[in-house]
Amino acid sequence: MNRFILDFEKPIQELQAKIDELEMLARSGQIGIDGELKRLRAKAGKLREEIYSRLTRWQCVQLARHPHRPYALDYIKAIVQDFVELQGDRRFRDDPSIVAGFGRWDGRSAAIIGHQKGRGTRDNLLRNFGMPHPEGYRKALRVMKTAARFGLPVVTLIDTPGAYPGLGAEERGQAQAIAENLYEMAQLERPIVAVVIGEGGSGGALALGVADRVLMLQYSIYSVISPEGCASILYRDASKAQLAAEALKLTSSDLLENGLIDSVIPEPLGGAHNDPAATASSVAEAVSTALGELEPLPSAELIDRRIEKFRRMGRWIEE
């Protein structure tokens, strides 16, 4: 896989290229460069820390969309044992942009549901770039209800630009499918833990996000609309997406500060794609901890807490 470099990462990459060149010379028997190598490695490490400690919101958007970032199936493969995927909504067809099934999450039986983007053009077309149709949300709800029937918790992995806005999706009841998920998740009798692993876009993300615990990876984003969509509406210019990203306050630290999520899962320096195994381990541990706290609660208390959690959200000023 070719290394994909974001604009703000180019100074790090240029320094790394010099390090690689010197390491090649060192292996060929050149002498007197050990000190220079040590100096450059220290400089690269410091530069990396400086850049990632002061990312703008737009740079966080870029990281959340990084094409090498782990997707739902990557986490399922790394964390879930004996995963069995279920397909179809029993009304129209299967929607590959949502993966849903049952397995053992870090040893605990659970339903696992996630948005799934594609790798490469062909896979992205199959997965519709992670934008679900209504049948995807109906499939997800079918699995959630099955989990509740068998007394299993639900884990959702959120990563979508938003629900697909095409004519066919609208004709088949896109808005209704999302609304039904919100309603049914609010009163599901088993614990739900949601993790935003990349993009959390609009109602397409919220349809898997009405959870007892909502967690976000450090460099993921979660907002009511994409920065480009917001810029098109507010500024009549999609190219002002960077400005819109600042206004949306869509980073994990923003949402935690505003009480919209419950906790942030740290990522390796440079993002989840730099160490997918370590990121998966952190996600597994955070979700298992949350489920351990939720599972002892009676169903009625679980539902009451969940509904109250979302009722508390929002701020306003009376003039």
Q: Which of 34, 54, 74 is the last residue of a domain?
A: 54
Instruction: Tell me if 319 is assigned to some domain.
Output: no
Are residues 169 and 20 both part of a single domain?
no
Q: What is the pLDDT of residue 318?
A: 80
Q: How high is the pLDDT of residue 131? A: 96
Is the same domain home to 85 and 11? no
- CA angle 268-270-271, nearest 5°? 60
Q: Would you place residue 1 in the very low, low, confident or very high pLDDT band (cuts 50, 70, 90)?
A: very low
Q: CA-to-CA distance for 265 and 282, rounded, in angstroms?
A: 7
Query: Which of 14-18, 49-53, 106-110 has the weakest average pLDDT?
Result: 14-18
Which residues make Cβ contacts (< 8 Å) with residue 2, sequence separation at least 6? none
Q: Is the pLDDT assigned to residue 23 strictly greater than 60?
A: yes
Torsion, CA 240, CA 220, CA 196, CA 279, rounded to 10: 160
Q: What is the pLDDT of residue 113?
A: 98
DSSP code at position 300: H
pLDDT band at 305 (very low <50, low <70, confident <90, very high): very high
- Same domain for 127 and 240: yes
Label residue 32 by pLDDT band (50, 70, 90): low
Contacts of 68 (CB under 8 A, 6+ apart): 1, 4, 273
Looking only at the bridges linking them, the beta strands covering 98-105 and 108-115 are: antiparallel
Residue 165 lies in a domain: yes
Lowest mean pLDDT among 28-37, 178-187, 270-279: 28-37
The number of domains in the chain is 2
Q: What pLDDT shows up at residue 41?
A: 82
Residues 25 and 99 in one domain: no
Residues 102 and 13 placed together within one structural domain of the fold: no
Assigned domain for 142 exists: yes
Q: Give residue 54's identity as a one-letter amino acid code.
A: R
Q: Do 48 and 115 reside in the same domain of the chain?
A: no
Burial class (CB in 10 A: 0-12, 13-18, 19+), 159: buried
- The answer, yes or no, to whether residue 93 has pLDDT greater than 70, is yes
Summarize pLDDT for 210-246 with one digit per residue, the tens.
Answer: 999 999 999 999 999 999 999 999 999 988 999 999 9
pLDDT at 25 over 80: no
Does residue 172 surpass a pLDDT of 60?
A: yes
pLDDT at 301 over 70: yes
Report residue 259 as tokens: 């009480």
Q: Is residue 2 part of a domain?
A: no
> Where is the domain boundary, 22, 39, 54?
54
Coil/strand/helix, residue 122: helix
Spatial separation of the C-alpha atoms in residues 186 and 211, rounded to whole Å: 8
- Provide Rg for the chain, Cα atoms: 21
pLDDT of residue 31: 60
pLDDT above 60: residue 39: yes
Same domain, 66 and 131: yes
> Tens digits of per-residue pLDDT, 107-151?
899 999 999 999 989 999 999 999 999 999 999 999 999 999 999
98 and 49 together in one domain:
no
User: Final residue of a domain: which of 16, 35, 54?
Assistant: 54
Lowest mean pLDDT segment, chosen from 5-14, 19-28, 75-84, 96-105: 19-28
CB atoms inside a 10 Å sphere around CB 266 = 13
CA distance 319 to 294: 40
Domain membership flag for residue 317: no
| pLDDT for res 238 | 86
Contact assessment for residue 99 and residue 113, using Cβ atoms and an 8 Å cutoff = yes
Q: Specify if 262 maps to a domain.
A: yes
DSSP state of 274: G
CATH of the domain at 162: 3.90.226.10
203 shares a domain with 123 = yes
Please give the torsion angle defined by the CA atoms of residues 189, 195, 199 and 200, in that order, rounded to the nearest 10 degrees: 30
Strand 98-105 versus strand 213-217 pairing type: unpaired
Report the DSSP pairing between strands 263-265 and 213-217.
Answer: parallel
Is 90 exceeded by the pLDDT of residue 33?
no
Mean pLDDT of the chain: 92
Question: Residue 203 and residue 178: Cα distance in Å, rounded?
Answer: 7
**Domain annotation covers residue 318:** no
Distance, in Å, from the CA atom of 176 to the CA atom of 158, rounded to the nearest integer, reads 19
pLDDT class of 29 with cuts at 50, 70, 90: low
Which residues share a beta bridge with 102?
A: 84, 111
Same domain, 272 and 226: yes
d(CA 155, CA 26): 49
Check whether residue 120 and residue 254 sit in a common domain: yes
**Diameter of the chain by CA atoms?**
75
Which of 8-12, 130-134, 181-185, 283-287 bottoms out in mean pLDDT, i.e. has the lowest?
Answer: 8-12
Domain annotation covers residue 178: yes
Percent helix, strand and coil across the chain, each to the nearest 5: 50, 15, 30
- Residue 48 sits in which domain range? 7-54
Query: Same structural domain for residues 289 and 194?
Result: yes
What is the arithmetic mean of pLDDT over 263-269?
A: 95
